Structure 1
Amino acid sequence: MTESASLPASTAAWVASVLGPLQAVRDTSHVRTNSQVWEVTGRTGRHFVKVSPEPVFHTRETRAYREAVPRLGYANALALKDSSAQLLALIVTAVDGEPLTSGTAPARRRVAHEQAGGLLRLLHQALPNHAAQAEATSTVEATVTGLERRIAAAGDHLSGAEADMLRRIVHTLPGLGPLPAGFLHGDFWERNMLWNGRRCALIDYERSTPGPLVADFVKLATAVWPDHPELRTAMFAGYGRPLSDIEQRALVAFTAADAAGALSYGPRHGDSHVTARGRRAVERLAREGRR
């Protein structure tokens, strides 16, 4: 077996018991320190092995692969081969493609976003609205109650006036009433959209959970749509419906909370991309008169 970065011994033994002897192992983890993903190749072909950093992420991702992801159809998502709660590990099939980036050709990027919108709609519908409403309400409550902690952690990266603006926006959430709910992807942005030139596939479900559907659009709304409104149009063309007026207002509120979170997380972890996302969101909210 060739190795560029070995699997932990216990994980390797489990993977071999499921897939048979491995011929090659390649580390495909993200740059962040808690990412552990390997591409493995053997007699049964190519698979990916993922070890979650915490039990909650493993539980969420396993549930997503068992209950929701199969709705997306063959080749539009990875399929679960096996899962080990003891090792916090899972084995999934491989699909062709590379993550979308700003460098993807504009026409292809639009098609990919439209396809991703259709896949997201299928994922959202994996859990009916009534079955996800309690979690959606909890998400709203947690967003509001957690805001002060995020603002405090952001420190000097938020001015007093900016912090007050975010408070006013986020505190509108409870008054909007029940939001459409379902099964969320939880980390829906271009890094988790694989494009092979013809077809989009969604990956990475460790943050999947029932909740308000509009929450899945926050990262695109803060990091992509301001510069590329055509991708928002493509996304909702694929999704099959626009956001309702209430969801539009909720998206602004979730965006404000996300901005505070980005400015608390990014500087502390040296993540310039997250920090820039939070700063741009705050400045855009101020320009739009959200003060």
Structure 2
Amino acid sequence: MRGRGVDLIAKLHRSPSLHEREVHAYRAWTPHLGSAAPELIAVAPELHGIVITALPGTPLDTQSLGPDDERDAHRDAGRILARLHSLPAQAAASDMTDYLADRGEHWLARLGHHITQHDAHLVREHLRLLRSTTHARVAPCHLDFQPRNLLWHTDRRTRVIDFENSREDLAARDLARLATRIWPQRPDLREAFLDAYGPLDTNDTAVLHHVTALEAVTSMAHGLQHGDDYLVDLGRRLLANLGH
């Protein structure tokens, strides 16, 4: 689509909640990110649809960049997420930790015999500790912040797309996809990202460690449900790492 001399994208959401989350993000938060995020052009509530501007670039996970360009892309991503996380939030940390711990129990129950009693106990211990981390930072979060939603362009700028999972949450949880899927193999990208994002405090580090248990059970459950071997293997690897 084209309008106002720019390319446009029409998107239909799979559920009302995803539609509401993305519309809210585009109205309340992404204007503060400037050209690093799409602009909301129109909303069709009856269709759960939106029209947004298309951004230049292609997803990082589809590109073969040199190490320097990769580090620049992740450094710019850190700058964008730091800006998003600097915006005001209303939710209390205790409400967020309780919610996430409850979600962890939900997904743990879905795994049934696919998880050992030892691993289930380990996950529950991390969920218990997460619930007690009541002074963590709360911020507007993207919640699917990973290379497939980060565009890199020849102008050497990173942009972020797909805000349908966004909501107020624990800020450090927004780093979980990078921390569990990218940084273990590429510590240089972690360093570049945090160079722009800023250092993690004690509570951030604790949250990131404990939500790894949540990432493990949700990855396994979704992988088993959809026949996605990558997610199943990721969940098992995260569980193994938690045990060390």
Aligned to 1:236: 194
SS of the residue 2:168 aligns to: strand
1:71-220 equivalent positions in 2, closer than 5 A: 71-74=32-35, 76-101=36-61, 103-126=64-87, 128=88, 131-134=89-92, 136-197=93-154, 198-220=156-178
Structure 2 residue 213 is matched with structure 1 residue 281: no
Residue 238 of structure 1: CA displacement? 1.2
Q: Return the TM-score normalized by structure 2.
A: 0.93
Residue 166 to residue 44, structure 1, CA distance change in 2 (3 Å): same
Stretch deviating more after TM superposition (96-105 or 252-261): 96-105
What letter corresponds to residue 176 of structure 1 in structure 2?
A: T
Contact 1:99 1:194 (C-alpha < 8 Å) held by counterparts: yes
Residue 258 of structure 1: CA displacement? 1.3
User: 5+ unaligned residues in a row in structure 2: which ranges?
Assistant: none
What letter corresponds to residue 182 of structure 2 in structure 1?
A: V
Aligned to 1:221: 179
Residue 255 of structure 1: CA displacement? 0.8
Greater Cα radius of gyration, structure 1 or 2: 1
SS of the residue 1:96 aligns to: coil
Residue 140 of structure 1: CA displacement? 1.1
SS of the residue 1:81 aligns to: strand
Residue 141 to residue 104, structure 1, CA distance change in 2 (3 Å): same
Residue 60 of structure 1: CA displacement? 1.0
What letter corresponds to residue 137 of structure 2 in structure 1?
A: P
SS of the residue 1:178 aligns to: coil
What letter corresponds to residue 232 of structure 2 in structure 1?
A: T
Residue 236 of structure 1: CA displacement? 0.9
Contact 2:13 2:19 (C-alpha < 8 Å) held by counterparts: yes
What letter corresponds to residue 66 of structure 2 in structure 1?
A: A
Residue 109 of structure 1: CA displacement? 1.1
SS of the residue 2:136 aligns to: coil
Contact 1:194 1:201 (C-alpha < 8 Å) held by counterparts: yes
SS of the residue 2:97 aligns to: helix
Structure 1 residue ranges (4+ consecutive) displaced by more than 6 angstroms after TM superposition? none
- Higher percent of residues as helix: 2
> Counterparts of 1:251 and 1:132 in 2: how far apart (Å)?
21
Structure 2 residue 30 is matched with structure 1 residue 69: yes
Contact 1:154 1:265 (C-alpha < 8 Å) held by counterparts: no
1:16-27 equivalent positions in 2, closer than 5 A: none
What letter corresponds to residue 146 of structure 2 in structure 1?
A: W
Contact 1:132 1:183 (C-alpha < 8 Å) held by counterparts: no
Aligned length: 242
Residue 125 of structure 1: CA displacement? 1.8
What letter corresponds to residue 79 of structure 1 in structure 2?
A: E
Q: Return the TM-score normalized by structure 1.
A: 0.79
User: 5+ unaligned residues in a row in structure 1: which ranges?
Assistant: 1-39
Structure 2 residue 228 is matched with structure 1 residue 271: yes
Contact 1:132 1:211 (C-alpha < 8 Å) held by counterparts: no
Deviations 1:91-124 (A, max 9, x none): 1111111111274322211111100110011111
Residue 275 of structure 1: CA displacement? 1.6
Could you say what the CA RMSD is over the residues aligned between the two structures, in angstroms?
A: 1.6
> Counterparts of 1:259 and 1:103 in 2: how far apart (Å)?
28
